Structure 1
Amino acid sequence: MGSIVQVGWIYGSTTEDVLTGLTIHGRGWRSAYCSPDPPTFLGCAPPGGPGSMTQRKRWSTGLLKIWFSTKNPLVPTLPGKFQIRQCMAYMWLILWGLRSIPELCYAILPAYCIITDSHFMPKVREPTILIPVAIFVIYNLYTLSEYLCSGLSTHAWWNNQRIWRLNTMTAWFFGFLSVVLKLLGISNTVFEVTQKDTSTNANDNDTNSGRYTFDESPMFILGTTILLVNLTALAIGLLGFRSKSGDGNGSGIGEFICSVWVVLLFWAFSKGLFGKGKYGIPFSTIYKSWAIVLLFVQLCKWS
């Protein structure tokens, strides 16, 4: 009589699909790429910003919790059950939450440098300026070429670039905080259900179709703060309200370009500042963000 093999979803996680994949791959299963035409399965995405943010936060929380569990991809890699590339692929996925920390730092670093008249980018006259410029150009051209080769448009590429940055610095960061609170025993992870958009016919005449929506979630406070910090820094720099260093080592065009790039990435929030209803950022969120911005500017002047 043959042994019984249990096959099915591995529950107990808000990202049971990844947890299941890790488990069955650790048992020796191998994946096969399958791309039927037409697609066999089609999913529904949450409509608007709040639902998308909640879903991304849930994913970030569940993925990062795997890293601190016995299902960590390093565990099957050490005895040779996982290939190194397979382990790296899983690590890239489950460490979404940790990526929010450096991205947040880089989002506010240009603003800090402009306000304090310092710099982190090489000067235009320095040959080393070619290094960050080359990285920036190569990365964007490479990712754009991937979209174009897949039959997608430049507009789709730009939208995804912005949404990835928004999710990383807001939803993923709150997912990281959720895991930290869980590890400290302060709170438990709660499965937050998101409403899915099941509509199949879009109204092309609706001018609000596809617009980003907002609510009073703390995640939007963080995104609004990042935008306002950079707008404030640009205003301080352009109007000459910062204290000049006088030694030629102050902020330059590199810091201004980086700050403008952050503003462009958060363009949906820029439109939300002047939007109405669910398409506008709530006044309570804007007030709280401005309070944080004023505190940030004051701390920069004291540094």
Structure 2
Amino acid sequence: MFVTTADPQLEPPIITVNTVLSLMAVDYPAHKLACYVSDDGCSPLTFYSLMEAAKFAKLWVPFCKKYNIQLRAPFRYFARNSTTSSGEDCSLEFQQARDTMKDEYEKLRRKIEDASLGSVPSNLSGEFVAFSNTERKNHPTIIKIMLENKGGSPDELPHLIYISREKQPKHPHHYKAGAMNVLTRVSGLMTNAPLMLNVDCDMYANNPQIVLHALCLLLGTKYERDCAFVQCLQYFYDGAKDDPFGNQLVVRNEYLGQGIVGIQGPYYEGTGCFHRRKVIYGSWPEDMKTEKKSLISNGELTKVESLNGFGISKQFINSVAHALQGNSDNPKDLWSSLEAAYQVSSCTYEYNTDRGKEIGWMYGSTTEDILTGLAIHTKGWRSLCCLPNPPAFLGCAPSGGPASMTQQKRWATGLLEILVSKRSPIYGTLFMNLHFRQCLAYLWLLTRALRSIPEFLYALLPAYCIMTNSHFLPKVRRK
């Protein structure tokens, strides 16, 4: 499970903490789960918040599973008006446990809030030594194992690992796509799970059984052959009344989006998505049938030199070989792979490789999710949509006009970059393995960039006229 965050000011750590806690408490054996938090801001505040969250998780996760709590993000659970919901225990024991848990969460929230008002810690000692003399865009790699399921017990907590990849001013970091590729390599060395879930730091797990829902779609005989990823549509728990800025994505989710699902599958939305690791590593649907594209031969990774996509770490290459065969073969403990993890998270590790071009999350657009999903679909893979009830994940919508405008601008820029690039779906039916209708679906999505900014400005026009007491209609001179 990957959680990405980049700025503790724009993305408050308490939101990230709630997302992490909701993921660690999902209904699935804990020894088969690992949560990796990527902090691209290299913030000691974020690290401190996760340290405190790890302590609280030892109370929160058992509480949720013992009493079958359905809403497992603490800030949402304790914000409800009613003390209990349908299906929850109403006994005196539960009420006392709930009150105790609420007090503990308030302590956690106050600690993080107090820390955000000052420096944490002030002397940068102990666990925080790694953050001394660091800048947001200039710092070495920092990897911290915060929780480890040492006994491999399903009743314990999942692994929790903090990662802040190396950054240097002269080396491109490729934004979120670069962070996701580092998470893929580090997790491949430490746990090497065949499936990867990625969520944004503000998209908490709203349905505790979402992993089971996704596995039902991924592990069927038919879908094992051709399904690359399972996408859960984005829904939000807040937002302005009547949604004037279109942040709830109603048209896309309820109408056009579900229509696209019936063609080749939904496009990758960047969050709430379950990926097959071997697909991210560049596997094709017909790999086992076509010798030219096969990477596995007699248990060894072949043609790595010609593909040149996995770097120079032999330990990582071995993990790739096992992943492409469907084996995890993870080490007995996380610490044994820590040195190699630092190596593969270096800012120079991807030089002279195919990372971001043929394998991994694609580079070349600020909307790396659409570009990556397009690259996967063009290989012939399909995707599936998961729509459980209640919704799988819920996120935080932009709070107002300026934030919405910034987001729309970023989307529009990224979509236009793809539209005019060599990966444009305009060439999909000629040089790619896309269905014609899928090409049309992607073209509809990409040309949305040409409409989004004018539509948004038009939505803001009435408010501007009211605030400035002006209008754009020509004045008519009375006779």
Normalised by the length of structure 2, the TM-score is: 0.23
Tell me the TM-score normalised to structure 1 length. 0.35
Q: Which has the higher helix share?
A: 1
Q: Which has the higher strand share?
A: 2
